[in-house]
A and B are shown apart, each in its own frame.
Chain A
Amino acid sequence: MISKEKVENNNINMGQYQFNTKLFSWFGEHKQVLSIFLIFLIISAYFGMSTNSFFTSSNFMNLIQQLAPNLIVVVAMTFVITTAGIDLSVGSVIALASAITAILLEAGFNSPITLVIVLLAGVMVGIVNGYISAYHDIPPFIVTLSSMIFIRGFALLLTGGYSIAIAKEHGLVNIGIGTLFGVPVAALIAIIIVILGAIALRSSRFGIYVIGIGANEESVRRSGVDTRKIKLLTYMMSGGAAALAGLIISSRLGSGSSNIGLMFEMDVIAAVVLGGTSLFGGKGTMMGSLIGVSIIGVIKNGLILMQVSPDIIQIIQGMVLLLAVILNIRIFGNRRK
């Protein structure tokens, strides 16, 4: 028999595993974001050299105003995807929000009430998505695919297929076209949401649980966290964010229609994944998503400035996106798990 003393006196030392982790882990932790940022710089530099108008303040303002809805939704989508979930319904919620906005304003509702109702409608969609997928264990891909179809159909029913005008006199349209201190209101809202989202993901209990659920949900559950509630909350966020984005887009366009926001979910999911968030969950950064949105926006914007024919913009966009992801994974070694 081996003596017990031997084990007790065995100095527990794992010294051989130690290495200088500080610098290494900083680069390790931020490798994905740094490499995608480099790709963003390369693309920007290319457009900067190819056009005279790319690096101008007016183009920059134009860009962040256009990207504001994407930024808002991408923040929420980052939370959803980090839990290993997905929300395909955001584009349809944008259409629903635009339809409700136009109809309510036309019916004489004032701006604050319209704002509240539209946001609540988006959150309600999120509650349904989240409740069915989190509490009944139905894959969120299927749940939100169904609601994507259902909700756009519902928006079509509400509008009867027509585009409903939104008059510029309503205070609410400032959310899409107004400026504050020379900065578009929509951009300000988006920046605030990005900052809050980044803090919540990195530094709040909620954010840690979101990452933990993506990595090992059972472990988080056994730690006494109500993981279903956390997942439900992420879908409520994406629903609410999509409704806000819908308000901004339809205010800018001056109309509500069931055709608004088509393929929007694809842009947002592409941005999140490009930013290094794993579709399998457990890994996500707000900074990465922010850069992901910027890359997608800059490609479109730069190609338009270069006066590339609109017929082939999508083709180039798709190719550049694929190239960026390949570069990120193959060259920079940021393998997804």
Chain B
Amino acid sequence: MAGNDIRIEMKNIQKSFGAVKPLQGIDLTLYKGECLGLLGDNGAGKSTLMKILSGVLIPDQGEFYFEGEKVSIKKPKDAKNLQIETVFQDLALCDTLNVANNIFLGREPVKPGSRLIDKKKLHERTREELDKLGINISSTKLVVQNMSGGQRQAVAIARAMAFQPKVLILDEPTAALGVKEVNMVLGLINKVKKAGVSVILITHRLQDLFEVCDRLMVLHEGKCIDNRTIDQYTLESVIKSIMGNPEGVPVS
């Protein structure tokens, strides 16, 4: 891919918590409209890396480039301003609010000249967002706590997408979901990709990777040990990489 197709570059990212060094100089490149699968065993540093990218943690060392420009990400707001959105597995939704209020939380349309929410517009725009992603939820007034895991995850992704992100980070979006729901979430990822959004996917379900990812990056003990396009992998070689023994491919 050409250089101007690069959305994000992270260079030499290092982070340590005392004696624990979860990240020891990691480079990450993310292209426009691609889905990058981020892999690694527990403690390999995937979540730490994503927390750094979404501004939750600050790295000890390292540089960020966003579409070629050097930027600094020091708090969640910085990441949001760069249109980097993250869907965390647990922290996503307010259970007692309805679908529309969750999706537009913090950006509710208000009636002109007042601070009251324009509920008609809110529900219309929620419906538009859901339709755009092909999410079928009977009512935007449904309270989230009464919904299934898949529906909740769909709402969480719709909420991230409503911010019109350029980068969407999904941390274990299919954990604890049923088969149909997993397919729905994977379908969403492919739709989002088609809209030009770059996606970073963290998952333990290796079979999902082959359905949505264009490239895989494997972390092992704080270092990147494998980084290839998806067609160079088989399920077996992915497992070998995660175990720390990539199949004779030079580390890039």
Contacts and interface: CB of A to CB of B under 8 A. Distances in A.
Contacts of B154: 14
A17 B142 CA distance: 12
Range, interface on chain B = 35 or more
Which of the listed residues B76, B106, B117, B211 has the most CB atoms from chain A within 10 Å of its own CB?
B106
B4 interface: no
Interface stretch (A18-26, A145-153, A169-177, A236-244): A18-26
Interface in B89-123: 91-97, 101, 105-108, 110, 115-117, 119
Nearest to B144: A215
Given A208-B105, A224-B80, A224-B106, A21 B94 contact: no
Given A7-B190, A206-B115, A216-B91, A1 B210 contact: yes
B190 A8 contact: yes
Nearest to B133: A12
B77 interface: yes
A25 B188 CA distance: 28
Contact of B97 (A15, A29, A211): A211
Contacts of A252: none
B106 A225 contact: yes
B244 interface: no
A216 B95 contact: yes
A266 interface: no
A21 B105 contact: no
Nearest to B139: A21
Nearest to B111: A203
Interface stretch (B13-21, B59-67, B179-187): B179-187
Contacts of B146: 28
Contacts of B151: 14, 17
Contacts of B143: 25, 28-29
Interface residues of A, number: 39
A223 B142 contact: no
B187 A218 contact: no
A19 B184 contact: no
Interface string A277-306: 000001100000000000000000000000
Contacts of A283: 96
Given A21-B138, A22-B139, A223-B105, A208 B97 contact: yes
B101 A208 contact: yes
A261 interface: no
Nearest to B137: A14
Which of the listed residues A15, A28, A204 has the most CB atoms from chain B within 10 Å of its own CB?
A204
B173 interface: no
Contacts of A222: 76, 91
B138 A204 contact: no
Contacts of A199: 116
A2 B117 contact: no
Interface string A1-44: 11010111010111101110110010011000000000000000
Nearest to A281: B96
B70 interface: no
B26 interface: no
B105 A7 contact: no
Given A12-B135, A12-B188, A215-B96, A204 B116 contact: yes
A212 interface: yes
Given A7-B211, A212-B101, A223-B106, A12 B187 contact: yes
Nearest to B233: A1
B134 interface: yes
B212 interface: yes
A199 B115 CA distance: 11
A283 B146 CA distance: 14
A69 interface: no
B224 to A, nearest CB: 23
A251 B112 CA distance: 40
B190 A14 contact: no
In the A-B complex, the 8 residue pairs with the smallest Cβ-Cβ separation, listed nearest first, are A223-B106, A215-B94, A282-B96, A212-B94, A223-B105, A18-B138, A215-B96, A12-B134
Given A203-B117, A219-B105, 16 more contacts: A2-B210, A2-B211, A4-B212, A7-B211, A7-B212, A12-B187, A17-B147, A17-B148, A19-B138, A203-B116, A205-B108, A208-B108, A211-B97, A216-B93, A224-B106, A282-B94
